[in-house]
Amino acid sequence: MIPFGEKMKNKKITISHESKVIANEKIYFDKNLKIVETPAKEDLEIIEKVKNKEFEPRRVLNLKLKAEEAAKQSEIRELISYPMIKKNLAYNLPHQQSGALRILRDLDGRALLADEVGLGKTITAGMVLKECIVRGFVRRALILTPPSLVNQWKEELSTKFELNFEEINKESEWENNQLAIASIDKVKNFNTKTNEFKHSRAHEIYWDIIIIDEAHKLKDKNTFRWKFVDKLQKKRLLLLTATPFQNDLIELYNLLSLLRRGHLGTISEFRGNFLVNGNERRPLNPRELKRKLSEVMIRRRRDETKGINYMKRIPRIQSVDLSWDEKRAYEEVVDMLLVHYFDFNGNPINTTLAIHSVLPKITSSSKSSIEFLENLIANPKYHKTTRDIAKRIVEQLKRITQDTKIGKLIELVNEINKKDRGAKILLYTKHPATLRYISDILRKQKFKITEFRGGLTRDEKSKRIKEFMEKSQILVSTETGAEGLNFQFCNNLINYDLPWNPMAVEQRIGRLDRIGQKKNIFIYNLATKGTMEEHVVDLIINKMCCIGLVMGELPIILFNMGLDSKGKSGSSKFEEKIMNAFLDSKNNLSRFANEIGRVGNEINKGIQNYEQTKKYTSELLD
Amino acid sequence: MADYNPKDFILEFFKDCKIDDKEGILTIREVPRDFEEFIGKKSPYKLVFDFNLHAKVKDSELVIQGSYFLLAIRDYLRNRGQTSLLKLDIKPDLSELSKNPKLKKCKILEIKPAGYNFLSEFSFLSVYQYLNEKKQAITRFLVKDKEFLDLDISEFKTHEGNKEEIPLMDLKEPYNLTKKKLDMQVNKEIKMIKSSLNAKLSKELNRIKDHYFKQIKEKDEEVERCKEKIKLLESKLKHTYYDRDINIFKRMIQESKVRLEMLQKRSYRERLHAEEIFHINDEVEKYVLSIKNILINITLCYYPVYSIIVLSKGKKISKKYDPVLKKIL
């Protein structure tokens, strides 16, 4: 340590928040301590009341004084907000409460929460947030998350913590939102012309708390992402990541620099004290490094926490051989989209978007195909040639009495029943037309069905969940219907059709694969042979969602690979990869299979990197 | 002020409602609508007073020191009970009065009420907030004219006052007086809090200053090293005769000069200094001590003063007596 000279000790401190002083606030300094006195505006009104002889019984004052005493909060010994949120949490996991308490009490709200995936870092962070709000410490809060997790965070904060966060998309939206949430990828954009961050307004606000999810992305201090976060003014900062460093310990240093500048010394000191010469992965003095980390970090492992059992995901792909009519209809639709898809003036319509929005409907069911094609026929913005082709295909489709896929579904449900009589089944489809079709057919087969789709009121949703729990066997749902709901009492999931976005598939599985699930989860997937669907299903289910990752790990991997944000088409970058693979293959299935294989290899590499990172993290921290 | 038992407080607060007390669960029914609307939940309320019971009783509200339900009641009452009027029921104690030095060798002939005197009681709530802590204290001042009285009105027998019996009163002056006195008390509390906060903050600021001091020093040293290297290479260049070495030294000098220029061009001192100020400000804001003093009630008290007729040295003399101050006026 270099001792301070007198000059250093007496260095003048510049305070930059003077402009935000509210009128009448008295601000002064005692040494370095800033003291703000706020006079109550109501005092004169009370004097005026006496003048006007407006009195209330003395009993009210006595009660009021007692209420002040009873509501008084002093040191944080327990989470006073916990009883408010307890009813919204499916399970009480003591490590979440103890983590939140430690962050508030011992770490003054500035911490790196590095629990292993699956322990509920979001819940722990939510508890910190709620407690701060209830105790009156926090008014302005900001949450920065990966793009694909913004909605999940919003939903969890609303349903579990009764906190309504507003998503920030435009710069003008910063001012009016006290509780703000944003995709870090969106707000970190830097305008090189003006030499400013596009969302620089966020830097002018003084945040009472900032929470950053998947904070390992802040590993490089030369990135705009890191610089954006570093410029935020904040009283409390929570960095959430299970893997605080990926390739070398400098990443950990950069992360902690955001939290507590100089905590690990200067970069040269850090290298000297903690890195084995030339090896940025091996710590020189692991015990001392661990001690320094424990001053700002909380990390718990899954094997040391009680109350959580992790169940296996068992995938099953059910191949569906299309009938000749079905196969022909599919081919004709693909041909129409690739060759004869014209607008009113005869100009070709963007095939990429068409493939993405139309093909899944076609592979879903004949009913959703018909619905799409009839809308096209009735829409004058399409060219006559396109509409005529559509008419022809509709006629073919109407000749199909029952989809082969639905027959396979009935077989599958019977098979599940044979294995586990009356077992609850959650059945998903993307398309409302398919949902209605499935429900009709299954009802005719005397299965007890509950339908669940978007647009239901809260009461109606509760009613239907109860019905599924108590009476019916199968819940047929679209994803918007069951978003955020818990069905851990059910362990059979059927994907009648599959979204091309693995995050959406994770969301579906997540309804079942959550804390409280007591059985292994069977994930059945219907995939039509000879269409692109069978390859997409294989990639997403067998190579991504069911490879033994813990819930929450796949989004991290996709985020690390930069595949979770939206691409130019508005779909996720992963979906775009599949679309491009289809277009490049020109409807040649074996070429498409090759392309998908390449995507699979890329994903596999991402998974391996992630596993390696977990290993390094565990070696150092556990 | 002593800690209140939350259950007693709840019973008092809901005393006009229907209360059922069974197996540790208080069920409150027929709650005034304005409270239900304020709290956003319709009665009945099932209130429990410990964590274990709370976990067992469905839809129950946990009531413990600082819990949400108590916070809601406190907020509900915040804008209520801001002013009260009290009449002190106080009569002169004749035996004590006769001992008064001003009535020495006098005989009290008659004593009767003759108008009222006034006192005002100001109650303030002071809230001190820093880091993740909050402290609060209630301070009460009793003022008569321009003087503070060391009395507690709860020691007197009191009734709700009748506003017809009092004149219009402006309490701005006594309010200003109490504010000054409150400030003195608050300063004492601040002194205690700030000494521990300042110690913690100094440690944090020293960490930041130390960090940037070293960073600048390291950069300075790098610049010096670079300059030294250039000097050394230039001197080697002077003394070498081989073309191959000349070229190598020239290249190395050029490289070092570029590095030096880069180091100096970026004005690292200013950049690091600006960063340091930012982090110091951030830390100062983190430790800020906020104080709020809220006047929560003014109670106007009035009580009768007495007219006394005494016989002193054969003469009848009339005097006035204040039974609260125990003074002959």
Q: Could you read off the pLDDT of B215-228 as tens digits, one per residue?
A: 999 989 989 999 99
- On whether both A65 and A101 belong to a single domain, the answer is no
CA-based nearest residue in chain B for residue A43: B295
Q: Could you read off the pLDDT of A527-568 as tens digits, one per residue?
A: 988 888 889 999 999 999 888 887 778 888 988 898 877 777
Q: Which residues of A touch B284 (CB under 8 A)?
A: 13, 15, 32-34
Indicate the pLDDT class of residue A248, thresholds 50, 70 and 90.
Answer: confident
Would you say residue A280 has pLDDT above 90? no
For B137-143, the CB contacts below 8 A with 24+ separation are: B137/B189, B138/A65, B138/A68, B138/A69, B138/B1, B138/B296, B139/B182, B139/B185, B141/B178, B141/B181, B141/B182, B143/B119, B143/B174, B143/B177, B143/B178
Work out the average pLDDT over A220-240: 95
Give the tokens for residue A610. Answer: 């992630």
> In whole angstroms, how large is the CA radius of gyration of chain A?
29
- On whether both A220 and A260 belong to a single domain, the answer is yes
- On whether both A56 and A105 belong to a single domain, the answer is no
A64–B133 CB contact, under 8 Å: no
State whether residue A38 sits within 8 Å of chain B by CB: yes
Torsion of CA A327, A329, A334, A340, to 10 degrees: 150
Query: In chain B, which ranges are continuous DSSP H helix?
Result: 6-13, 33-39, 51-56, 68-78, 94-98, 172-238, 243-265, 268-286
Instruction: Give the pLDDT score at B1.
Output: 43
Question: What is the C-alpha separation between A349 and A365, in angstroms, rounded?
Answer: 24
* Helix, strand, coil percent content, chain A, rounded in steps of 5: 50, 15, 35
Greater confidence, A137 or B84?
A: B84
- Which of B34, B48, B71, B203 to mutate: most A Cβ within 10 Å? B71
Question: What is the C-alpha separation between A254 and A271, in angstroms, rounded?
Answer: 12
Indicate the pLDDT class of residue A74, thresholds 50, 70 and 90.
Answer: low
Q: Which residues of B touch A67 (CB under 8 A)?
A: 9, 13, 70, 73-74, 77
Least CB–CB distance from A40: residue in B12, B293, B299: B293
B4–A69 CB contact, under 8 Å: yes
CA-based nearest residue in chain A for residue B61: A83
Question: What is the C-alpha separation between A258 and A232, in angstroms, rounded?
Answer: 10
- On whether both A212 and A287 belong to a single domain, the answer is yes
Instruction: Give the pLDDT score at A567.
Output: 78
CB atoms inside a 10 Å sphere around CB A74: 11
Question: What is the C-alpha separation between A202 and B246, in angstroms, rounded?
Answer: 55
> Which of A61, A123, A126 shows the shortest CA–CA distance to A91?
A123
Question: What is the C-alpha separation between A437 and A407, in angstroms, rounded?
Answer: 12
CA distance to partner chain B, nearest, from residue A105 (Å)? 7
Work out the average pLDDT over A254-269: 94
Domain boundary among A304, A335, A364: A304
Q: Which residues of A touch B62 (CB under 8 A)?
A: 83
- On whether both A133 and A243 belong to a single domain, the answer is yes
State whether residue B300 sits within 8 Å of chain A by CB: yes
Q: What is the mean pLDDT of chain A?
A: 86
Query: In A420-531, which ranges are continuous DSSP H helix?
Result: 432-444, 458-470, 479-482, 502-510
Q: What is the mean pLDDT of chain B?
A: 89
In sequence order, what are the residues at sequence separation of 6 or more whose Cβ sits closer than 8 angstroms to the Cβ of residue A465? A485
Indicate the pLDDT class of residue A18, thresholds 50, 70 and 90.
Answer: very low
Would you say residue A12 has pLDDT above 60? no
> Which of A244, A260, A240 shows the shortest CA–CA distance to A113?
A240
Q: What is the DSSP string of A240-295?
A: E-S-S-SS-HHHHHHHHHHHSTTTT--HHHHHHHHEETTEEEEESSHHHHHHHHHT
State whether residue A306 sits within 8 Å of chain B by CB: no
Residue B245 identity (one-letter amino acid) = D
Relative to beta strand B315-322, strand B289-312 is: antiparallel
Question: What is the C-alpha separation between B177 and B124, in angstroms, rounded?
Answer: 13
Q: What is the DSSP string of A216-227?
A: GGG--TTSHHHH
* Residue A515's CATH number: 3.40.50.300
Secondary structure of residue B166 in the 3-state scheme: coil
Q: Which of residues 78-107 of B touch A (CB under 8 A)?
A: 78, 80-86
Work out the average pLDDT over A49-69: 90
The verdict on ipTM greater than 0.85 is no
Torsion of CA A603, A608, A613, A616, to 10 degrees: 180
- Which of B85, B87, B132 to mutate: most A Cβ within 10 Å? B132
CA distance to partner chain A, nearest, from residue B199 (Å)? 10
CA-based nearest residue in chain B for residue A231: B278
CA-based nearest residue in chain A for residue B191: A30
B86–A58 CB contact, under 8 Å: yes
B133–A58 CB contact, under 8 Å: no
Whether the Cβ atoms of residue B47 and residue B61 lie closer than 8 Å to each other: yes
Work out the average pLDDT over B141-152: 90
A64–B78 CB contact, under 8 Å: yes
Instruction: Give the pLDDT score at A137.
Output: 87
Q: Residue A287 domain-assigned?
A: yes
Greater confidence, B243 or B2?
A: B243
Highest mean pLDDT among A221-225, A306-310, A531-535: A221-225
B74–A67 CB contact, under 8 Å: yes
Domains of chain B, by residue range, sit at 6-78, 83-173+294-328, 199-286
A32–B82 CB contact, under 8 Å: no
State whether residue B296 sits within 8 Å of chain A by CB: yes
Instruction: Give the pLDDT score at A168.
Output: 95
CA distance to partner chain A, nearest, from residue B29 (Å)? 19
Work out the average pLDDT over A65-87: 82
- On whether both A102 and A10 belong to a single domain, the answer is no
Work out the average pLDDT over A161-185: 93
DSSP annotation of A115 reads P
Q: Residue A452 domain-assigned?
A: yes
Work out the average pLDDT over A101-120: 91
B168–A51 CB contact, under 8 Å: yes
Whether the Cβ atoms of residue B197 and residue B130 lie closer than 8 Å to each other: yes
Work out the average pLDDT over A573-580: 86
Q: Which residues of B touch A55 (CB under 8 A)?
A: 83-85, 161, 163, 300
Work out the average pLDDT over B252-280: 88
* Residue A138's CATH number: 3.40.50.10810
Secondary structure of residue A414 in the 3-state scheme: helix
Q: Which domain holds residue A234?
A: 82-304
Question: Which residue's entry shows tokens 């609850």?
Answer: A424
Q: Residue A489 domain-assigned?
A: yes
Instruction: Give the pLDDT score at A6.
Output: 35
- On whether both A488 and A520 belong to a single domain, the answer is yes
Angle at B145 between CA B144 and CA B150, to 5 degrees: 30
Least CB–CB distance from A46: residue in B82, B168, B291: B82
CA-based nearest residue in chain B for residue A267: B215
Question: What is the C-alpha separation between B158 and B88, in angstroms, rounded?
Answer: 5
Indicate the pLDDT class of residue B4, thresholds 50, 70 and 90.
Answer: low
- On whether both A147 and A239 belong to a single domain, the answer is yes
- Does residue A432 have a cis peptide bond before it, meaning omega lies within 30 degrees of 0? no
**Domain count within chain A:** 3
State whether residue B268 sits within 8 Å of chain A by CB: no
Indicate the pLDDT class of residue A14, thresholds 50, 70 and 90.
Answer: very low
- On whether both A122 and A237 belong to a single domain, the answer is yes
Domain boundary among A304, A333, A355: A304
Q: Could you read off the pLDDT of A329-353 as tens digits, one per residue?
A: 888 988 888 888 888 888 888 777 7
The 3-class secondary structure across A382-412, one letter per residue, is ECHHHHHHHHHHHHHHHCCCCCHHHHHHHHH
- On whether both A171 and A298 belong to a single domain, the answer is yes
CA distance to partner chain B, nearest, from residue A77 (Å)? 11
Query: In A52-206, which ranges are continuous DSSP H helix?
Result: 58-71, 82-86, 94-105, 121-134, 150-161, 184-187, 201-204
- Which of A4, A63, A102, A131 to mutate: most B Cβ within 10 Å? A63
Phi, psi at A230, each rounded to 5°: -60, -30
Q: What is the DSSP string of B302-328?
A: EEEEEEEEEEETTEEEEEEEETTTTEE
Q: Which of residues 224-263 of B touch A (CB under 8 A)?
A: none
B83–A32 CB contact, under 8 Å: no
CA distance to partner chain B, nearest, from residue A104 (Å)? 7
Q: Residue A610 domain-assigned?
A: no
- On whether both A89 and A41 belong to a single domain, the answer is no
How many Cα neighbours within 13 Å face the side chain of A509? 30
Per-position b or e across A83-109, b if 16+ CB within 10 A of its CB? bbbbeebeeebebbbebbbebbeebbb
Question: What is the C-alpha separation between A296 and A252, in angstroms, rounded?
Answer: 12
B84–A15 CB contact, under 8 Å: no
CA-based nearest residue in chain A for residue B217: A2
Q: Which of residues 205-224 of A touch B (CB under 8 A)?
A: 206
State whether residue B205 sits within 8 Å of chain A by CB: yes
Instruction: Give the pLDDT score at A20.
Output: 42
Instruction: Give the pLDDT score at B310.
Output: 86
Question: What is the C-alpha separation between B189 and A124, in angstroms, rounded?
Answer: 34
Q: Which residues of A touch B131 (CB under 8 A)?
A: 108-109
Q: Could you read off the pLDDT of B8-52 as tens digits, one per residue?
A: 899 999 999 999 999 889 999 999 999 998 888 889 999 998 877
Of the listed ranges A401-415, A554-568, B132-146, the least confidently predicted one is A554-568
State whether residue B194 sits within 8 Å of chain A by CB: yes
Domain boundary among A17, A52, A71: A71
Whether the Cβ atoms of residue B146 and residue B119 lie closer than 8 Å to each other: no
CA distance to partner chain B, nearest, from residue A137 (Å)? 7
State whether residue A75 sits within 8 Å of chain B by CB: yes
Instruction: Give the pLDDT score at A206.
Output: 93
Indicate the pLDDT class of residue A481, thresholds 50, 70 and 90.
Answer: low
Q: Which of residues 92-131 of A touch B (CB under 8 A)?
A: 92, 104-105, 108-110
- Which of A16, A66, A102, A236 to mutate: most B Cβ within 10 Å? A66
- On whether both A46 and A189 belong to a single domain, the answer is no
Q: Which residues of B touch A17 (CB under 8 A)?
A: 281, 285
Q: Residue A611 domain-assigned?
A: no
